[in-house]
Amino acid sequence: MAAEDDLRSVTLNDGNSIPRLGFGVYKISPADAERAVGTALEAGYRHIDTAALYGNEREVGRAVTASGLPRREVYVVTKVWNADQGYDSTLTAFEASMDRLGLDYLDLYLIHWPLPARGKFVETFRALAHLRDQGRIRSIGVSNFAPEHLEVLIDSTGIVPVVNQVELHPRFSQAELRAVHARLGIATEAWAPLGQGSLLAHPSVAEVARRCGKTPAQVLIRWHIQLGNIVIPKSVHPERIVGNFEVFDFELGASEMSAISSLDDGARLGPDPRVFDYTGR
Ligand code: NAD
């Protein structure tokens, strides 16, 4: 984890690379999304994480285009929503996402949730592989997959997803799943990296922040980076968007890393993917 390149980007199992620190846009309204993504791109973020579910793909695409940055310099991720799982419906959902994004290719497409009871994630992933083979998507991955879902997916398709984007923060640090990812060559991507804001006032985090002369959010983002995660914090406030990217000018020592890691009490904020079966929009 020493080289600056390793801190800034991750080489995926298909040879492509992804910026390690991205900008998440869950619950950013369409009215705010174009400005927020524009601010993020100006601040230096080169990776935007959206989803069909978030209802802001159009604004994300507009901000990417309006930035004037060459398309190859911005890494765009979206996700196929639960209701659209299945081979043909995924192909249709992908075209709808691309129409909204207004882009001619996608960097990374994820299956949003496995929905194991429906038994469709294998055919959904085959559709992603088809789109990748057609050159529409550069890399394909999953989100919220438990080890048993990864195993079925890989055994059935022979393809290892490049990333698994999962709930991960100091109170739910997913050590076992990270070990599975390391063995399989899957990059770990953390959603709710700040505990959706709930960890920012924790006294241990505040204490490390005080010692480092950084904000609690910066400390948590740096903890993810040093742990080896891809991390996608969200904010709508310009000063927070900018501040959350200022994490490459300090380092957490071993005792600071373990002070934060010791907060793990297994507390999930979101649903358990083994039973989650929601297909509403
Ligand atoms: P997060 O942990 O990034 O927390 C975001 C919240 O933290 C903000 O709403 C704000 O309240 C607070 N915050 C952020 N920066 C701050 C700062 N500097 N100071 C004070 N408060 C600050 O939570 P998230 O948005 O749920 O997760 C990040 C991204 O992960 C999402 O935007 C989305 O892209 C992705 N995500 C994916 C899934 C999935 O199922 N794949 C689920 C949830 C989120």
Whose CA is closest to atom 42 on ligand 1? 191
Whose CA is closest to atom 38 on ligand 1? 191
Walk across the sheet containing 106-111 and list its strands.
23-24, 47-49, 75-80, 106-111, 137-143, 163-167, 187-191, 230-231
Closest atom of ligand 1 to CA, residue 25: 32
Task: Answer yes or no: is the C-beta of 197 below 6 A from any ligand 1 atom.
Answer: yes
| pLDDT tens digit sequence for 145-180 | 999 999 999 999 999 999 999 999 999 999 999 999
Is residue 54 annotated as a catalytic residue, yes or no? yes
| pLDDT tens digit sequence for 55-73 | 999 999 999 999 999 999 9
pLDDT of residue 5: 72
CB 233 within 8 A of CB 24: yes
pLDDT of residue 113: 98
pLDDT of residue 10: 98
* Mean pLDDT calculated for residue range 75-86: 98
pLDDT of residue 4: 72
121: pLDDT strictly greater than 90: yes
pLDDT of residue 216: 98
CA atoms within 13 A on the CB side of 238: 5
Give 1's pLDDT tier (boundaries 50, 70, 90): very low
Which residue bears the tokens 């990776």?
A: 47
**Among 54, 75, 105, 109, which one carries the catalytic annotation?**
54
Task: Answer yes or no: is the C-beta of 114 below 6 A from any ligand 1 atom.
Answer: no
| Of 39, 143, 196, 229, best ligand 1 pocket probe by most atoms within 8 Å of the beta carbon | 196
Give 2's pLDDT tier (boundaries 50, 70, 90): very low
